[in-house]
């Protein structure tokens, strides 16, 4: 998260220039194959550089920041959309419920990765316009939008189910009897009682979003060059895994550790709020 303060360079700067002297002496950087040479892995280039001469450690830091930022932002987007659709469908019922459930069922019918790749590629090809704002194809907003959208059915459906139960509670009936409008009831009576469920889903969703972002970036449908992410680093290093395995293994390890930590944290939040709850995000 503090990559700009820790890193000694940018994640796109090329360090291949003047790396090997005319007389062939080794430098303290890396060889052209991406393997560190000179005095071990220590020094300014702790993990060496990739085939484009970019510092792997710096890209690892910036890539982690991008992956986490996209994961959190996408989880926020999913949460807001899920609350909106789930509450409207569960409380208003009727045609509104049918329309929203039909939309969610269509999205649910596609695997997350397939829907994410399709949307990511379609939006990345030419970018898109959001009112007066034009978003380019390599903007980080595209994976945020794609991931935030594809996970909506997995959160909106349980939200709707809980709203169906809450709308029949006595405190909601009392609010109706006092003449409160549907909008007021949804905002002041329904949504506050969803917060524990929403918080659990949100924490677990961040881990899923980070993992999906890396998968999409690996497939070329997420974060695009020159922006780094753990998924793009794994993709860029996969063809050199025999000669420079650290280019793929290190970001892979960071991804696994991050997702595992977020899942453990989410499980802890779930158990703290409701030990009997069995909340899972299905793929």
Residue 13 has a pLDDT of 61
> Cα dist. 221→52, 95, 215, 218, 255 in Å?
21, 35, 9, 8, 18
Task: Print burial letters for 226-239: b (CB count within 10 Å at least 16), e (below 16).
Answer: ebbbbbbbbbbbee
- pTM value? 0.82
Q: What is the pLDDT of residue 113?
A: 92
pLDDT at 224: 82
Q: What is the mean pLDDT of each run of 10 residues along the chain (283 residues)?
A: 54 54 46 45 62 78 90 96 94 92 93 91 76 77 93 93 90 89 91 89 92 91 84 86 83 93 87 61 46
The rounded distance, in Å, linking the Cα atoms of 155 and 151 is 7
Domain 73-273 has CATH 1.10.3720.10: yes
Q: Is residue 229 within 8 Å of residue 67, measured between CB atoms?
A: yes
């Amino acid at each position: 998260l503090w990559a700009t303060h820790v890193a000694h360079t940018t994640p796109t700067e090329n360090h291949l220039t003047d790396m090997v002297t005319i007389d062939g002496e080794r430098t303290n950087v890396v060889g052209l194959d991406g393997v560190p040479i000179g005095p071990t892995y220590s020094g300014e280039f702790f993990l060496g550089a990739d085939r484009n001469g970019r510092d792997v450690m710096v890209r690892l830091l910036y890539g982690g920041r991008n992956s986490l930022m996209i994961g959190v932002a996408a989880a926020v987007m999913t949460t807001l959309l899920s609350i909106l659709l789930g509450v409207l469908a569960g409380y208003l019922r009727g045609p509104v419920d049918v329309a929203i459930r039909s939309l969610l069922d269509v999205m649910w019918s596609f695997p997350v990765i397939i829907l994410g790749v399709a949307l990511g590629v379609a939006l990345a090809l030419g970018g898109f316009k959001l009112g007066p704002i034009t978003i380019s194809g390599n903007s980080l907003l595209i994976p945020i939008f794609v991931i935030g959208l594809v996970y909506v059915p997995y959160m909106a459906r349980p939200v709707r189910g809980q709203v169906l139960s809450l709308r029949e509670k006595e405190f909601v009936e009392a609010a109706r009897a006092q003449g409160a409008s549907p909008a007021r009831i949804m905002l002041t009576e329904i949504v506050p009682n969803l917060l524990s469920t929403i918080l659990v889903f949100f924490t677990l969703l961040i881990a899923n979003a980070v993992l999906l972002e890396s998968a999409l970036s690996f497939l070329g449908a997420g974060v695009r060059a020159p922006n780094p992410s753990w998924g793009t680093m794994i993709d860029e290093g996969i063809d050199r895994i025999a000669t420079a395995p650290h280019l793929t293994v290190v970001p892979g390890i960071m991804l696994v550790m991050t997702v595992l930590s977020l899942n453990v944290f989410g499980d802890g939040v779930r158990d703290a709020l409701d030990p009997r709850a069995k909340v899972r995000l299905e793929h």
